[in-house]
Amino acid sequence: MSDRSDKFAGEDPFEIARTWLSAAEDSEINDPNAMALSTVDSTGMPNVRMVLLKDIEPDGFVFYTNYGSAKGQEIDASGKAALVLHWKSLRRQIRVRGTVERVAGEKADAYFASRSLKSRLGAWASDQSKPLSSRTALVAEVAKVTARHGNAPKRPAFWGGYKVTPIEIEFWADGAFRLHDRFQWRRDSDGAGWKIQRLNP
């Protein structure tokens, strides 16, 4: 018999993650979907940055970015990434490690179209992660792409989504006297069955 509490209930970790995110949306002041995304470069040196989680699909965690950015290049080279969602107000976090694939086509087009016009134009204007001479130069580039693409810019080919498909998901909840609750869902490959175990805090 499992000793998991209600907040860890269920056999589908993606459903638990969606439930925790929903709770965070009611309690976090800003960006409850913010997550730390970790990748490695060609030398194995790690990189981490904050990005926004845009969807928890039945089999993965989706975010969007410029494919030419540092994270995009590192993900495309390794095919792997890790992420952490942390909610201070709830005293909870979710850690994920897994493989990554691009999200393109109609799904990426639809998400891009849902963004504000300024965000869409900014995506066209920014050569993300590359050196920039000045903010004035960036503003000038925004003006150029605005003149070129107007009020209905399509998604650039260099911009789209990534889906992290986990081989490991860990749920952590704060406990009294630092006796935290940690449960790990782990599997050998995508589509394999999950092994669930409690971890020491």
Per-residue model confidence (pLDDT) at position 1: 40
With a pLDDT cut of 70, the percent of the chain lying above it is 99
Q: Can you give the pTM of this predicted structure?
A: 0.91
**Tens digits of residue pLDDT in 48-104:** 999 999 999 999 999 999 999 999 999 999 999 999 999 999 999 999 999 999 998
The whole-chain average pLDDT of the chain stands at 93
Worst-scoring range by mean pLDDT, 36-40, 44-48, 115-119, 186-190? 186-190
**What is residue 177's three-state secondary structure?**
helix
Per-residue model confidence (pLDDT) at position 141: 92
Which DSSP state fits 153? P
User: What are the catalytic residues?
Assistant: 178
Using the CB atoms, write b or e for 112-130: b if 16+ within 10 Å. Answer: beeeeeeebbbbbbbebee
Using the CB atoms, write b or e for 175-197: b if 16+ within 10 Å. Answer: eeeeebbbbbbbbeeeeeeeeee
**What is residue 38's three-state secondary structure?**
strand
Position 13 pLDDT exceeds 80: yes
**What is residue 44's three-state secondary structure?**
coil
